[in-house]
Structure 1
Amino acid sequence: MKFNTIILLGALFLLTTLSYGQIKLPRLISDGAILQRDTDLKIWGWASPKEKITFTFKGKNYKTKADKKGYWGFNLPPQKASGPFKMTFKGKNKISVNDILFGDVWLCSGQSNMVHQLDIHDVIYADEIKTANYSEIRHFKIPNTTNVYGPQEQLEGGIWQKAIGEEVRPFSAVAYFFAKKIYEKYHVPIGLVNASVGGSRIEAWIPEEGFKAYPNVQKIIEENRDPDFLKTLDELNKKQPASTSQPSDNGLIGEKKWYDPTFVPKNWRRINIPGYWEDQGIRDLNGIVWYRREFTIPDAMVGKEAKVYLGRIVDADEFYINGEKVGNKTYQYPQRRYKVSANILKKGKNVFVVRVTNYGGKGGFVPDKPYYLFTEKDTIDLKGYWSYKVGQVFNPKKRNSISEKEDQPRIRRMNYRGEPSILYNAMVAPFTNYSFKGVLWYQGESNTGNPKEYAGYMHTLADSWRTVFKSPNIPFIYAQLTNFMDVSYLPTESNWAELRDAQLKSLSIANSAMVVNIDLGEWNDIHPDDKKSVGERMALAGLKLAYNEDLVYSGPIYKSHKVEGNKITISFNHIGSGLMSKDGESISEFAIAGDDKEFVWAQAKIEGDKLIVWSDEVLNPKYIRYAWANNPYNPNFYNKEGLPASPFEIKL
C-alpha cells in the first residue's frame, strides 16, 4: 500500500468517524454477537450530537443522550450465560440486533498461525468441518487494516459466524479447537474475536502508551503519523532501486509461451520434484524456473473435476494444465491445493507446467509434502523427474549509493505488519469497550530476527492490553514457537531457541500461561498442520486460569538447580504425576558448557521428581541447555500427563 493512499484513507476515516448523522453501533455489536457473561458490560455507539437514544433489552428501556461529539453509552448489569436475545436502539433511526448470546468471549491475536483457518487445513480436519455443529461457538474475524495516525473508533467490517458445517471453514483453527474443548465441558456460548495478521510483529499490536520506556520506538511512531515525513520517505524509497534492471522471462516472450501445450521444448534438463533446485545442480540462482511434464490421464478421470496438491513451493508459482491456468500463489507459505475444472483433463497425454519464481535462498518444491492429482476415485502421483529450463535470472540487488555514504543514514522502509501500534490502532483499539474472558496469543516467528527484546515487549503487550480493556488480571495465554527448519544433530546457536527462551521468561507476567509446542512443528513448514493440539493445550491453560479447574496444564518448566561436581540436579514446576521420557529412551537434547560456552551433549536421567544432568567432557559446568535449536532432534522430556518440557538455558 502506498503512503499517499494511507494518508488519504486516514483523512477519510477521521471525517467519517466524526460525522455521524444517525445511530451507529460498533461492528462487534451485531447479529449473532456473543457478549461476556457475569460482568458489567458497556454498550456504546454514535449518533448526532446531543441526540436522545433509547436502548431496549429484555423488556427494559435504558435512556441516554449522545455527547457533543456524538458518542453515547449504556452500562448493562451482569448477565448469566443465556440467549438468544434481541436489542433495539432508537433515536432518529432504529436498529435491531438479533440472536445475541451471553457466554465467554476470548480475544485471539498474533500472526499467521493464529490466522490459519480450518479451510487451509481441510485435509487433516475434513471430519471436523463435516461434523461441526456448534451454533453457540462463534467467530468474528477482524479485517486486516492498518492505521499509523492513532486509534480508530470503528472497525472496517466483520461478521459473526457460527461453527456449523461449511461456515466453520474461516475460523482460526487454533481458536476453534480451543473453543470446542471449553464448550464441550461447560456448554456455555464461546465467542472468538480474531484480530491476527500473518507476518505481523509484536510491536504492531502494542498501543502507543505502552512504549513510554522505548524512546526510539516513540520516535518512529511520531514520524509515521507525520504525512510530510511519510511522503518524503516514499519518494526516497522510489529513488532506491530494489535491484538492477531485470531481463524478461524467456518463457513468456517467445512466439509460443512455455505453458502452451503445442510448444516444443528444446535443451530442457531433468530435475526431481519434490526438491530444491539448489540441491540439483542449479547454484546461486534467484529467478524463474519452468517445470514441464506429460502425464497420461486414464479414461475414468477425463471430464471430471479434480484437485491438485503441489505441496509448498518457494517462492511463487503459476500452474498450468494443457495451457489453462489452474492456480497460483504469490509467496512460499500457503499449501498449493488447486481445483481443476471438468473440461481441462483430456484423454491421453496432458501437459503439466509449473512456473516457479524464487527471490532468495533455495527455490523449488518443498520435500515431504503431498504432490498428486486426484478425483473421487483415481489418483496420479506427480512426484518424480520433470524437465526444467531457466526462464529468467535475477541480477543481484545493489545497495543505494545514497545510503552507503557515511554521513547518510540507511533509508528505512515501512513494514505495514510491523510498525509500532499500526495494527493495534486499526484492529484492537475500536473495541476496547468490549469485555473478554481472556486473551489467546500466538506470535513470535516475525520477531526471531531480534529475540533479545521480545520478553520486554511481551510484558508491555500484556500490561497495555490489560490497561486499555480495564481488566488488570485478565488471563493471558500464549503459544511458544514450534520446532521448525532443518533438524540439528549437534549443539547449536539458534534465534528460534532464544525467542522461545524469551517466551519462557514471559511467564513472570501475572496470571499468564505458556503452551509448549516443541513437538508439534514440521521441519519444512512454518505453518504446521497440527493446530488441534495447540488449541487443546491452550484450552488446558484456560481451564486452569479462567475457570479455576484443578488440573495439570503445562509440561515441566525449569524451577531451580543444584551443582555437585560435574552433575546438575534440576527441579521443575508442573511435574504433574511424574517425569518421563516420552519414547522410553534416554532423556535427550541436554547440552552442557564450561566458561568457554562450547556446548557438548550431556547425559540425563530422572531420579524421582528431579533430573540429573552431566557430561564427563565438562568437569566444571557453567551453562546448561535443553532443546536449544531451531528444530531439536528428539525433545523427549515430558510429564506423565503427556505434556512436553519447555526448552531453556540456564547459567549455573
Structure 2
Amino acid sequence: MRKVKIIIGLLCIALSATAQLPKKLKLSSVLQSNMVIQQNQPFKVWGHSPVGTAISIQADWMSTPINVIANTENKFLGIIPVPAVRPGDFSKHQITVTGSGETQVLENVLIGETWICSGQSNMQFKLHETLDSAREVPAAAYPQIRLFSAGLNFSNEPLDSIQGIWQECTPATVRTFSAVGYHFGRELFAKLNVPIGLVFTGIGASSAQAYVPREALAADTLLNRVYLQPYMDSPKSKEKIEGGFTFEKVTRPFLLYNAVISPFINLSIKGFIWYQGESNRSERASYTRLTQTMIQSWRSAFAQGNLPFYYVQVAPFWYDKDDATLADYAFFREAQERIGSLGNTEMVVTMDVGESRDLHPKNKKPIGVRLAKTALNRTYGALSISYQGPKFDFVLFGKKETEIHFLAETVRGGLETNNGKAPEHFFLAGADQRFYPATARIEGSRIILTCPKVKNPVAVRYAFTNFPVTNLQNKDALPVLPFRSDDWDEPISKK
C-alpha cells in the first residue's frame, strides 16, 4: 500500500512539473476564445514558437489546415480565409492551432464586424457612469457583441502583446466598458444583425501624439519640431519607462502607440472610432496634421487598405472661464473639423449634448449612435440612414436681414430646434470684427438673422464660442455643425 502511495505521489509531482513547463506554442494575446473575427477578410493567426516549428492552423469552416514554419525570431504567422456572414448567423466557431506537440483551441468565436475604439477620457467614459445607465446597463445582454478592453501600458519600442480578455457583452462586463463604444456597437448590431467585436484601447488625459509612431513624427518637419524633438531633448525621454499611469506620461509622444496600438496591427478590423482632443486644445494646424498623420500611420501599420476613421468633435466646455465671448475652444474644434479633409474620415458633432460645466458629459448614447449612423451610411452602404447635421453653405447679407443657407443634402427635411425655442448662438459682425448676438428664426431650410447693433454685417458665426450648448438641428435630430463665414485671425486669448 505504501509503494502505491509513493508511486501516486511521484506521478502527481511529475504531472505538476509538466504542467509548469513553459509552453512552446504561444498564440498572440489578442487571439482568444470569445472574440469576433472580421468577416470576409483574410485573418492572421500569429504567435510564438521555437524556430523551425511546423504550425498547423485550421478553423472549423476550412476543409484543410494551412501550415507555416516559425521563423528565426521564434515567431509564426499564418493567414486563413474567413467567409462572409449572413444576417442572423451567430454560429459559434472554433480555431485549432497545433505545433511543438501542443494544441491550442479558440472556442466560442463569432464571425462579424470588428472595430477599434480609441481616444481619451470621453471615449473611456464607462457605461455605468452615463445619464441613462440605470436603464442601459441591465438591458445590455448581447452575447453576440464581444468586448475587449486593452490594459494600459507604455513602451519605447513597439510591443506585440497586450493585457485584456475577450468577453461576451453582459450587464456585468459592459458596465465598465466605453459607453460611446458600446452604443456604437449596439446600433450596428441592431441594423446589421451580425456579431460585433469592440476593442477599446485608449486612456484618459492622453494626447494625440502619444498614439503616433516615432518614425511618423520624425518624418514630418512640423510634427518633429512641435512634438517629438522637445520630448527627445528632455530628461523625460531618458527615464526608464514603466507601466503606471501619470497625467504627464500619457502625453509623451509614441509611447501609447507602441504599447496599446501596435499589438493589434495584425488583427483584421473594419475600422476605427476616435474621441480625443481635450489634451491638445491649445493647438491648431499642428493638431490637424498630427491627427491626419496618426490616421495614415495606423492605416499603413494595419495594412488593410484605406480603413474608415470616424471621430468625435469635442463638446462645449468653459475651462473655468465664465466668459461667453471666448472662442479659443471653437478654433480648436475648427482644427478638428479640418481633419476631415483626409479621405474616408467623418466627424460627429456633440454641441447639443455637451454640458458647459462638465468636461465629461454624461449623455453618451447619441454620440455612439451618430458614429454608428456614419458607419452604416459610409461603410455599409445604408444610404437611407442620415448621418450629417446641417453644414453651412453660404450667407447673404441684406440691409435688414441676413440669410444663412446650408448644404442641401444636410437639410432635406428642413430645420427645427430640439426644445421648441428660437435657434440660439448666432452672431453677426461688421468690418470692425466685433460680434453681437443675433436673433434667429427658421424659414424652411434657412435661418434668418437680425441684429440692430450691426448695421452692415460682413461676417456670421454660429456656436463659435467655447461653451454654447445648441438647440438647432435637422429633422433627423442631427445638430448643426459650428461655423464661421470669416477667415479672421484668432485673437490672443484673454487671461
Task: Give TM-score scaled by structure 1 length.
Answer: 0.64
From 55, 72, 75, the equivalent of 2:76 is: 72
- Contact 2:402/2:448 (<8 A) preserved: yes
1:425 aligns to what? Answer: 258
C-alpha spacing 1:224/1:83, structure 2 compared with 1 (3 Å): farther
1:521 aligns to what? Answer: 354
Q: What letter matches 2:157 in structure 1?
A: G
1:191 aligns to what? Answer: 197
From 594, 600, 603, the equivalent of 2:430 is: 594
2:492 aligns to what? Answer: none
- Contact 1:488/1:630 (<8 A) preserved: no
> Shift in Å at residue 624 of structure 1?
2.1
- Contact 2:317/2:357 (<8 A) preserved: yes
C-alpha spacing 1:233/1:28, structure 2 compared with 1 (3 Å): closer
Aligned to 2:449, what secondary structure does the other structure show? strand
1:306 aligns to what? Answer: none
Kindly name which structure, 1 or 2, has the bigger radius of gyration based on alpha carbons. Answer: 1
> Shift in Å at residue 230 of structure 1?
4.4
Q: What letter matches 1:85 in structure 2?
A: H
- Contact 1:137/1:189 (<8 A) preserved: yes
The answer to whether the aligner puts 1:181 opposite 2:187 as a matched pair is yes
- Contact 1:452/1:498 (<8 A) preserved: no
- 1:484-504: per-residue Cα shift (whole Å, max 9, x none)? 238999751233212222222
From 62, 65, 76, the equivalent of 2:66 is: 62
Matches within 5 A, 1:555-574: 555-564=389-398, 568-573=402-407, 574=410
Matches within 5 A, 1:105-116: 105-116=114-125
- Contact 1:83/1:101 (<8 A) preserved: yes
The answer to whether the aligner puts 1:647 opposite 2:471 as a matched pair is no
Aligned to 2:258, what secondary structure does the other structure show? helix
> Shift in Å at residue 457 of structure 1?
2.1
> Shift in Å at residue 215 of structure 1?
5.1
> Shift in Å at residue 193 of structure 1?
0.6
Q: What letter matches 1:114 in structure 2?
A: M
Q: Distance in 1 between matches of 2:252 and 2:38?
A: 31
Q: Distance in 2 between matches of 1:617 and 1:222?
A: 49
Aligned to 2:369, what secondary structure does the other structure show? helix
> Shift in Å at residue 139 of structure 1?
0.8
Q: Distance in 1 between matches of 2:338 and 2:353?
A: 21
Aligned to 1:646, what secondary structure does the other structure show? coil
Q: Distance in 2 between matches of 1:47 and 1:454?
A: 41
The answer to whether the aligner puts 1:138 opposite 2:149 as a matched pair is no
C-alpha spacing 1:230/1:414, structure 2 compared with 1 (3 Å): farther
Q: Distance in 2 between matches of 1:584 and 1:641?
A: 15
Alignment gaps of 5+ in structure 2: 1-21, 488-495
The answer to whether the aligner puts 1:103 opposite 2:112 as a matched pair is yes
Q: What letter matches 2:25 in structure 1?
A: I
2:38 aligns to what? Answer: 36
> Shift in Å at residue 461 of structure 1?
2.1
Which structure has greater helix proportion?
Answer: 2
- 1:18-63: per-residue Cα shift (whole Å, max 9, x none)? xx97222222211111110011222222211222111122252110
RMSD: 2.8
Q: Distance in 2 between matches of 1:182 and 1:68?
A: 42
> Shift in Å at residue 229 of structure 1?
5.1
C-alpha spacing 1:636/1:75, structure 2 compared with 1 (3 Å): same
Aligned to 2:251, what secondary structure does the other structure show? coil
Q: Distance in 2 between matches of 1:635 and 1:61?
A: 57
Q: Distance in 2 between matches of 1:589 and 1:530?
A: 21
1:532 aligns to what? Answer: 365
- Contact 1:142/1:194 (<8 A) preserved: yes
> Shift in Å at residue 126 of structure 1?
2.1
Alignment gaps of 5+ in structure 1: 1-19, 235-330, 332-412
C-alpha spacing 1:489/1:646, structure 2 compared with 1 (3 Å): farther
Q: What letter matches 1:647 in structure 2?
A: P
C-alpha spacing 1:546/1:522, structure 2 compared with 1 (3 Å): same
The answer to whether the aligner puts 1:128 opposite 2:128 as a matched pair is no
Aligned to 2:145, what secondary structure does the other structure show? strand
C-alpha spacing 1:600/1:424, structure 2 compared with 1 (3 Å): same
> Shift in Å at residue 112 of structure 1?
0.7
- Contact 2:209/2:227 (<8 A) preserved: no
Deviates more, 1:573-582 or 1:138-147: 573-582
> Shift in Å at residue 104 of structure 1?
0.3
- Contact 2:226/2:286 (<8 A) preserved: no
- Contact 1:557/1:645 (<8 A) preserved: yes
1:626 aligns to what? Answer: 462
> Shift in Å at residue 233 of structure 1?
7.2
The answer to whether the aligner puts 1:583 opposite 2:396 as a matched pair is no
> Shift in Å at residue 427 of structure 1?
0.3
Q: Distance in 1 between matches of 2:54 and 2:133?
A: 50
The answer to whether the aligner puts 1:167 opposite 2:173 as a matched pair is yes
Aligned to 1:580, what secondary structure does the other structure show? strand
> Shift in Å at residue 616 of structure 1?
3.3
- Contact 2:205/2:247 (<8 A) preserved: no
From 204, 208, 223, the equivalent of 1:202 is: 208
